[in-house]
Amino acid sequence: MKTFRCDNCGHPLFFENVQCLQCGSALAFLPDRLALCAIEPVPDQQGQQLWQRKKPNRRNQASHHYRLCQNHVQYQACNFAVPSHDANPLCVSCRQTRVLPDLSLPQNQERWYRIEAAKRRLFYTLAKLGLASVDPPAGERDGPVFEFLADLPGQQVLTGHCAGVITLNIAEADDAERVRRRVALHEPYRTLLGHLRHESGHYYWDSLIKDAGRLNAFREKFGDESVDYAQALNAYYAAGGAAPGWQQHHVSAYATAHPWEDWAETWAHYLHMVDLLETASSYNTRLVVPGNDAEEVEEVTSPFERIAPDFDHLVDQWVPLTLLLNSLNRSLGQDDAYPFALTQQALDKLRFVHNVIYAPQAAVPQDQNSTPQPSCQAMGGTTQALNSI
């Protein structure tokens, strides 16, 4: 995620900010611009509160008008704006959420805020990759539908994807509970954003692989997804996780459970890559790996600067950047932020994801069929009647 600058004073801004700490300007993220901007009220709107970009010394230029997302107005839980022509009271990210936990419980409001903040980061990356529309027609939503659910007595909610719907247990927003599950399940990189990126991989598998005629190419890289999913996961957990040597072929231990999980883990890893590279680029990061006799400087560039960036170039920047990232963490007495070592086979799978994203229409439809994704029940989802939007 890149940093932004205030339109009014030039002070650095961060993605979740709602006010500039330097000049006090109100801020909103404008999805149609994919930018965090200083905003000001539009005068004389007969009681309707509209906003426009704050543009010093450019007052005569025409400006688009916006409303603030209803979740900001009601809960101060969102900083996205809605174009004035869009009849939906919710922004393009919040409208993707179909079911909420009981917000009358204060702890649920905090959990929901954290999850939505992570989901907005996911939306930004997907939009930058051209996978989600920043201005869907007629107030509709684009991309996956989300349900954020809480455990009930005798009914445990498991995070998963089913038929375009991503379910997330809101307990994952509690740091202590997430760390407990991270240790118990041997998942060193278990975060809210990581969960959402992983599940979005399942969602886009349908459109980019199954429906785009890429099953043969997929199976060459990831294996046969028609293997029974429930049995594969049961076998994975019964064995206590991945077999030794999994690092030679996969980006994570969980990726060994089933080809669908291999794809979703690789997809999430790719989103990690492009997001971190954009962050480093926004800070004008330049790297010289210690011990390199040539002392060649690697300037990190944004992966979104070109329509179709070169994957090898991304990797050339990614490796030294993760070395720096881990070294900084160790200097603070923390574990490695990036506890991975990518082999050639893992890189080949990441390249496959990259190529699929940047050439979504290139495949030729095939006659063979894929086994459908597991049912909502098999994924552990529930359908509690909670707050729907």
pLDDT in tens, 311-361: 999 999 998 999 999 999 999 999 888 888 899 999 999 999 999 999 854
Say which residue, 10 or 378, is predicted with more confidence.
10
Read off the tokens for 336: 């490695």
The H-assigned helical ranges of the chain are: 70-75, 106-128, 175-184, 192-205, 215-222, 229-238, 259-282, 311-331, 344-358, 376-379
Contact 31, 80 (CB under 8 A): yes
**Per-residue CA distances from 318 to 84, 147, 220 (Å):** 40, 33, 25
pLDDT at 55: 76
Segment (H or E) for 247: none
pLDDT at 292: 57
pLDDT at 388: 32
CA angle in degrees (0–180, nearest 5) for 206-212-215: 80
Identify the sign of the CA torsion 317, 323, 326, 332: negative
pLDDT at 378: 33
In the chain, the N- to C-terminal Cα span, in Å, equals 28
Read off the tokens for 261: 């999980």
The pLDDT tens digits for 280-319 are 999 999 988 776 565 677 789 999 987 788 999 999 999 8
